[in-house]
Structure 1
Amino acid sequence: MNDGTRTARLLPWAGSEGKPCYLLTDGDGPLSRMADVVESTQLGMAGELLDHAADLLTDARATPEQLRFLLSRMCEALTDVHRIAESRGMRLR
């Protein structure tokens, strides 16, 4: 998506009703920088969650509730990472 001079960036958060949010940008504005920070934070949190998952999955004492909670957080993180990958892929075109 673009309007001739600016491209539409898929933002790393959802809008109302879970719909995607886009920003028409040249890539160098305050909202673009905020989106960069949010993406970096989301990716960092996903990495930490992967480390936690590796530990929990090797713990024979992990309960079904703990594993279910982990899976819920993993789904959230994967949704964030997928949105970031989509956004970056769109900007490469």
Structure 2
Amino acid sequence: MTPHNELRLLPWSGPDGKPCFLSTDDNGGTLSRLADTTEAAQLDVGQELLEHAMEVVTDAESEPAELRLLVRDLAGALRDTLRVAVSRGHRLPTPDSAARGDGDANPRLPAATFG
């Protein structure tokens, strides 16, 4: 097996607001499955919030306080969605490795890449 160097950006932040990463060779491990479940839940919440937003913005009687709350919630959902997209994007095979037919085509990024 090839040594594992890739870090997975997890869908939550640490207590100080900094990103959390996972380094593992087991994509089916407990923490990987928890991250997968959390990502799915975050995307579901974003979808539901988008549907609610469409209702609120088309309602002429929506109050400013409701709109401010909606914007705050949408910003949080967008933050979560972008984190999921970045995490998943880092785990996609690179065109070069896919063309070479490497057995493990995931990109390998050093921890320093993430700050």
| TM-score of the aligned structures, taking structure 1 as reference length | 0.92
Distance in 1 of aligned mates of 2:79 and 2:17: 11
Quote the RMSD (CA, aligned, Å).
Answer: 1.3
Q: Which has the higher helix share?
A: 1
Aligned match of 1:72: 72
Structure 2: where are the runs of 5+ without partners? 93-106, 108-115
Distance in 1 of aligned mates of 2:87 and 2:61: 39
Q: Which runs of structure 2 are paired with 1:23-34 in the superposition (5 Å)?
A: 23-26=22-25, 27-34=27-34
Residue 6 of structure 1 and its aligned partner are, at CA, apart by: 4.6
Aligned match of 1:39: 39
CA contact (8 A) 2:4 2:23 kept: no
Alignment partner of 2:47: what SS? helix
CA contact (8 A) 2:10 2:21 kept: yes
Number of positions where the alignment pairs a residue of Structure 1 with one of Structure 2: 91
Distance in 1 of aligned mates of 2:87 and 2:21: 9
Q: Which has the higher strand share?
A: 1
Deviations 1:41-69 (A, max 9, x none): 00000000000000000000001100000
Q: Give the share of equivalent positions with the same residue, in percent.
A: 49
Greater radius of gyration (CA): 2
Quick one: structure 1 residues 18 and 83, their matched pair in 2 at CA, closer, same or farther if it must change by over 3 Å?
same
Structure 1: where are the runs of 5+ without partners? none
Deviations 1:10-64 (A, max 9, x none): 0000012110000002212100000000000000000000000000000000011
Aligned match of 2:14: 15
- AA of the residue aligned to 1:58: T
Alignment pair present for 1:90 and 2:62: no
- AA of the residue aligned to 2:19: P
